[in-house]
Structure 1
Amino acid sequence: MNNVVMPKPCKVLDVVRETEMEYTFKVETDIAPEHGQFIQLSIPKIGEAPISVSSYGEGWVEFTIRSVGKVTNKIFELKRGDTLFLRGAYGKGWPVDKFKDKNMVIIAGGTGVAPIRSMVNKFYDEEGYVKSVNVIIGFKNEKSVIFKKDLDKWSKKFNTIYCLDNEEKEGFNKGFVTEYIKDIPFKSFGDNYETVIVGPPNMMKFAAEECMRNGVSQEKIWVSFERKMSCAVGKCGHCRIDETYVCLEGPVFNYVKAKDLID
């Protein structure tokens, strides 16, 4: 009988330093996640942490992790060939089947790029899967930019707007992502579009409101509500908001429900 909460030891295949605070770990595993799901990463006697999958392929997954606490700090000490324990994948990911043949608008901030990375690469690799892709991605400053190779690649095929909060650099606009939502041609899409927003809670809230001011219906907005998980199987109640268990019903929610999920 398969134990859904039993971690399995997996080998670290590679470690890539994205920024001073974010590393990407490629791990060998037979877990086959969906775009937008998360996996519980653990180190014995230290603890575990829920981390979104930033990429995956046959026999491996990648996690882009920010060092912010006891578990992630310890994971940052791992090197190629070391062991990391995984369990999952958990939660509901992006409704990629629903996105087929749509005009996609994707808005992300900071490490919020990680949960959308594999999906955007699917749109890049599978020509014609979606009708068009408009991307707005913001970072605090140049030092916090992650996935630089992906950003360059996406800009060659998609309509991309990259911005830094308070800096002017070549290839980036200055300002917040919300300032550039008005530049997305929503009216030209008719009813054939969907919008994805990922980032800090306030960023998602203000970006969703700005989208709606530009004529986007809340039914066409999707967010990843990345609250801290614990058991990941709806037993401990750690991620519960009112009657909603985020680990089971999310982390991806339509904004019709997400707008009422207030801590």
Structure 2
Amino acid sequence: MYKIAFNKKIGIDFYIMRIEGNFEGSPGQFYMLRSEDSFMTLSRPISIYDIGDNYIEFMYKTVGKGTQYFSKMQRGDSITLYGPYGNGFPVDEYIDKKVALVGGGMGIAPLMYLAKKLNNPDIYLGMRKEAMSPEQMREIGESYSRYGATYFNIGNDMTEKIDLSKYDAVMTCGPEILMKKVKNLNKNTYVSLEKHMGCAVGACLSCTCDVNGKRVRVCKEGPVFRGSEVDFKDED
């Protein structure tokens, strides 16, 4: 078990939790988090927001009882982590190339660590107007801008404002309708899928999706896939 260093509210229902310890992981991978003192039977999958010397950070949104419980945890509380799991973004392949990162809503979370590992990407973040105050958005934008030019889009379809065709690759996470639009604007797109997960090791089959005409497990074969391989037919 590890100790929480801080658990900061950064929006109406967004939080960043820092946990003390030595951790590893690649951008796009995730950990399973659980508090032994809670009602939770299953751990909750949360993508890596940042890793530094003696800490790991997770950005999460309160969407159910598990994350609601996390939001009430405080400095010094104990928490259990398992991971990292899954396959991340191909950072080494694009370290010196022109890359755009596109995140919508909670999908902005894995892009922080990804931006940190890439060489000066362009970062596009989309958020609902009511999700954060202007001051909170400015603070988050400043955090990302340490690693690349950062653009915040509030409330509108940001894919209509970005020329994604000029990039060698685009890496995206967010609502599936956003990722579908992004992959149609650049053939070399990588998407990070968000699915409900029970075990994180591919045993429970609760997180399957259609990739290249086959049902695959997001926790094992993903969560990052080539956008051209993912069937987003249910999103119009």
Q: TM-score, normalised by structure 2?
A: 0.86
Contact persistence 1:110–1:144 (CA under 8 A): no
Map of 1:141 onto structure 2? 129
CA 58–185 in structure 1, closer or farther in 2 if over 3 Å, else same: same
CA–CA separation in structure 1 for the residues paired with 2:147 and 2:45:
32
| Counterpart among 227, 231, 234 of residue 255 in structure 1 | 227
Aligned match of 1:194: 169
Is 2:69 aligned against 1:74? yes
Q: 1:233 aligns with which of 198, 201, 215?
A: 201
State the one-letter code of the partner of 1:37: Q
CA distance in 1, matches of 2:101, 2:33: 27
In 2, Cα distance between equivalents of 1:13 and 1:156: 22
The aligned counterpart of 1:88 is 83
> Which residue of 2 is the match for residue 46 of structure 1?
40
Q: Is the 8 A contact 1:107 1:177 kept in 2?
A: no
> What's the offset of the Cα at 1:260?
5.7
CA RMSD of aligned residues (A): 2.3
* 1:113-168 C-alpha deviation (Å, 9 max, x unpaired): 11111121233xxxxxx3x5222211111643666435225557744332111xxx
Structure 2 counterpart of 1:222 = 190
Please give the alpha-carbon distance, in whole angstroms, between the structure 2 residues aligned to 1:161 and 1:205. Answer: 20
Residue in structure 2 matching 1:12, options 1, 4, 22: 4
Paired residues, what number? 226
Counterpart for residue 3 of structure 1? none
The separation in 2 between residues aligned to 1:156 and 1:233, in whole angstroms, is: 34
Q: State the AA in 2 paired with 1:52.
A: S
- Greater Rg over alpha carbons, structure: 1
Percent identity over the alignment is 28
Cα deviation, 1:179-230, whole Å, max 9, x if unaligned, reads 1123x571xx6xxx11111111111112322x1xxxx32xx10010111111
Q: 1:160 aligns with which of 150, 153, 163?
A: 150
- AA paired with 1:232? A
Q: Distance in 2 between matches of 1:71 and 1:143?
A: 20
Change (3 A) 1:223 1:42: same
Whole-Å separation in 1 of the counterparts to 2:77 and 2:146:
36
Between the aligned partners of 1:115 and 1:180, the Cα distance in structure 2 is 22
Q: Is this contact kept in 2: 1:195–1:222, CA < 8 A? A: yes
Unaligned 5+ residue runs, structure 1?
1-8, 124-129, 166-174
Q: CA–CA distance in 1 between the matches of 2:147 and 2:179? A: 25
In the superposition, relative to structure 1, how do residues 153 and 80 fare at CA in structure 2: closer, same or farther (>3 Å)? closer
The 8 Å contact of residues 223 and 253 in structure 1, kept in 2 or not, is answered as yes
Contact 1:36 1:92 in 2 (8 A): yes
2:48 is paired with a residue whose SS is strand
Matched to 1:259, the amino acid is D
Structure 2 counterpart SS, 1:94: coil
For residues 137 and 79 of structure 2, the distance between their equivalents in structure 1, rounded to whole angstroms, comes to 22
Equivalent-residue separation in structure 2 for 1:61 and 1:252 (angstroms): 20
Displacement, 1:258? 1.9
Structure 1's consecutive aligned runs of 4 or more residues displaced over 6 angstroms after TM superposition are: none
For 2:160, give the aligned amino acid: E
Change (3 A) 1:156 1:16: closer
